[in-house]
Amino acid sequence: MLTKLAMTGFQKRWRDYLVLFSGLIMSSAIFYMFEALATNKTFLKQNTGISMVGMIFQFGSVLLTIITLVYIGYANSFLLSMRKRDYGLFMLVGARKGKIGQLIWLETLLVGITATIVGIIVGTLLTIGLSQLLISSLGLTLHHLSAWYFPAALTTLLLYVGLFLLAGFFNLIALTKTPALKLLHSNDQPNRPKLKPVRQLVEVILGLISIAIGYWAMANLDKLQMAGIGIALVTIVLGTYLLFNAIFVWLVVLLKRLPFANRGLNGFTLSQLSFRIRNYTKILSIVAMLFALALGAITVGMGFHRQVPLMVNGGNAYDMGLVNTTGSQKAQIKALNPTTESTYRFKVGKKAVYYRASDFDQHPFITMEQAGHNQLKFTVKHNTAKQLLKSNASYQLNSLQGSAQQRLRTQMLSDAQYAKLTQPEQRLTVFATADVTAHTAALKKLATSQRHRDTGLQGEMLGGRYTGYQLINSMYSGLEFMGFFLGVAFLAMLASCLMFKILSGAAADQHRYVMLNKIGTRKAQLNGALRKEIAVLFILPGIVGVVHVLFGLKMFSFIMVGSPYTGIWLPFLIFAGLYLIYYLITVQIYRRIVLQ
């Protein structure tokens, strides 16, 4: 009979359970997606050139585990908020506490295990879809990426089952030892914050010092190495919590004393925040950290994506060099609309490649030379035969040659000296397009045809921007993928965490909105009040997260060409749009609960 009553309650609130279940599925799916990369050592080794990337992911796993613990805590709180009144009524009609406790434990465990298994399946599908989307849209080259990775699935299942066992045990103790009347009125006690100026001032000072130390560690990561990541992780998390606990509690209380609070329902909104702000400091701190991780990951991913063409363009002035071009190859080159194209005659001796100097005087060979110590700025030089040899940049010419000629030294001859050589004359055609990344498919066909004619050419021996693009893109693809992939995953996690914390208190807020409705408050005002309330809870961690990102990007300056802040507005804009979508979803669900 008790089970039947519980199922009846479940059926009546199936929409709320659907929110809970879908949130837990997303949480376990995101954790699996992260672990699918973090535990795949072969993938990390093959797709990054950074030796400490494995340790970085280990720190990330620890941080994500802590966040998952908090997330499940709030999801469990949401579950309890829906069931406390039901179980209180069961006790009042004579149900035994032991039977209710067993029912609570089984319900929590069943929801958790089912959501975790489904989440692992969803995480596998999301990994497939997201990886294919990123690979196709960004043109990435990845090795040993596995959407289904058993160690990641096992880690996710063990962690979530263990946490739900603990949650079920906690629910059993909490509800069976709580009087029935207290369960019925469990949401009627607000948590009013009290200002303690001395304590809060100390928290502000300690918080600022902790965050400053964390920012310093990230700025000096090239010197501190892994110790810097550990220091930043501890100090920034601690500092963020202290600042939220001190400043924002103070801010809400002080705002209630201003004339602003007397306009419309602003006083009601501030009171709503003051009731819960103490309980929100932990979740807002975690959301701020997740916000920084998500936005930082996407920003860094886009930063690495920009590195490829910048580095490729500085390596050589030409896309490719072809020896003794055929008619078909000439037609393909013409179809690319090259910005520059030149042909140089040469003959191959035993120790050198002899070029006709007059060809270079008529069509100077273009070289790229780094300007000072700036890795992004290059000087374009048009070299005659003498200038080319004098500048010691002939290696750029040699890299465009055939396999045998690349190993020989370069020598320039006058027309008379060149005519005396008995070796057969050959021709080197070099060309450049406006954007090598936009013509990779056509250039690949040309490279393949050239390798078929010159079997000694393998991989990077072809030279030019196209080969440079293949090499550099392969090196940075893993970093780009990880940045975008983890950015999307952390965004979903942070929004879900905040959503559940807000929704877990919706049942307690419902009667307050009902009272406002009964005294004649217009529905538009009620909607505006709840939108403002939720907006504050989304905006506060967003501001702190943006500040963390602006300082945190400094730690990538030693592994990125140029400034990591270049084009930062684009990932910020994309992230703001995604963040807004989650805000609107939360507002809709919260409105449906409190304004039935």
pLDDT, residue 152, reads: 85
pLDDT, residue 91, reads: 65
DSSP code, position 326: -
Does 242 score more than 80 pLDDT?
Answer: yes
Using an 8 Å Cβ cutoff, are 46 and 479 in contact?
A: no
Tokens of 500: 């559940």
- Distance CA(514)–CA(593), nearest Å, equals 11
pLDDT, residue 454, reads: 66
**Whole-model pTM?**
0.66
pLDDT, residue 207, reads: 85
Q: What is the mean pLDDT of residues 375-393?
A: 73
Tokens of 43: 């993938």
- Distance CA(338)–CA(336), nearest Å, equals 6
Those residues with Cβ within 8 angstroms of residue 501's Cβ, 6 or more apart along the chain or in another chain: 74, 77, 280, 283
What's the chain's length in residues? 596
pLDDT, residue 526, reads: 79
pLDDT, residue 82, reads: 64
Q: What is the mean pLDDT of residues 266-285?
A: 70
Q: Specify the amino acid at residue 409.
A: R
pLDDT tens-place string over residues 497-523: 777 777 766 766 777 777 777 777 778
Any idea which residue has 């802040």 for tokens? Answer: 565
Going by their DSSP bridges, the two strands 340-348 and 352-356 should be labelled as: antiparallel
C-alpha angle 304/124/35, rounded to 5°? 60
- Distance CA(513)–CA(518), nearest Å, equals 9
- Distance CA(112)–CA(115), nearest Å, equals 5
Tokens of 378: 């290059």
C-alpha angle 468/471/477, rounded to 5°? 125
Q: Which residues share a beta bridge with 432? A: 340
Which H or E run includes 413? Answer: strand 409-413
pLDDT averaged over the chain? 76
Does 420 score more than 80 pLDDT?
Answer: yes
- Distance CA(448)–CA(250), nearest Å, equals 67
Nearest to 404 by CA among 459, 465, 442, 457: 457
C-alpha angle 52/58/60, rounded to 5°? 105
Q: Which residues share a beta bridge with 323? A: 428
Those residues with Cβ within 8 angstroms of residue 99's Cβ, 6 or more apart along the chain or in another chain: 2
Using an 8 Å Cβ cutoff, are 160 and 116 in contact?
A: yes
Does 227 score more than 60 pLDDT?
Answer: yes
- Distance CA(218)–CA(274), nearest Å, equals 34
Tokens of 109: 């465990």
HEC string for 40-87: CHHHHHHHCCCCCHHHHHHHHHHHHHHHHHHHHHHHHHHHHHHHHHHH
Q: What is the mean pLDDT of residues 380-394?
A: 76
CA dist 578 to 68, 165, 490, 539, Å?
A: 21, 33, 12, 13
Does 440 score more than 70 pLDDT?
Answer: yes
Does 233 score more than 70 pLDDT?
Answer: yes
Q: Specify the amino acid at residue 13.
A: R
Going by their DSSP bridges, the two strands 426-432 and 409-413 should be labelled as: unpaired
Using an 8 Å Cβ cutoff, are 313 and 465 in contact?
A: yes
**Distinct helix (H) and strand (E) counts, the chain:** 22, 7
- Distance CA(365)–CA(363), nearest Å, equals 6
The pLDDT-based confidence of 397 (bands split at 50, 70, 90) is confident
C-alpha angle 424/426/427, rounded to 5°? 165
- Distance CA(314)–CA(464), nearest Å, equals 10
- Distance CA(125)–CA(136), nearest Å, equals 17
Q: Specify the amino acid at residue 511.
A: H
Does 471 score more than 70 pLDDT?
Answer: yes
pLDDT, residue 270, reads: 72
Does 173 score more than 80 pLDDT?
Answer: no
Q: What is the CA radius of gyration of the chain?
A: 32
The pLDDT-based confidence of 175 (bands split at 50, 70, 90) is low
Going by their DSSP bridges, the two strands 320-323 and 340-348 should be labelled as: unpaired
- Distance CA(158)–CA(162), nearest Å, equals 6
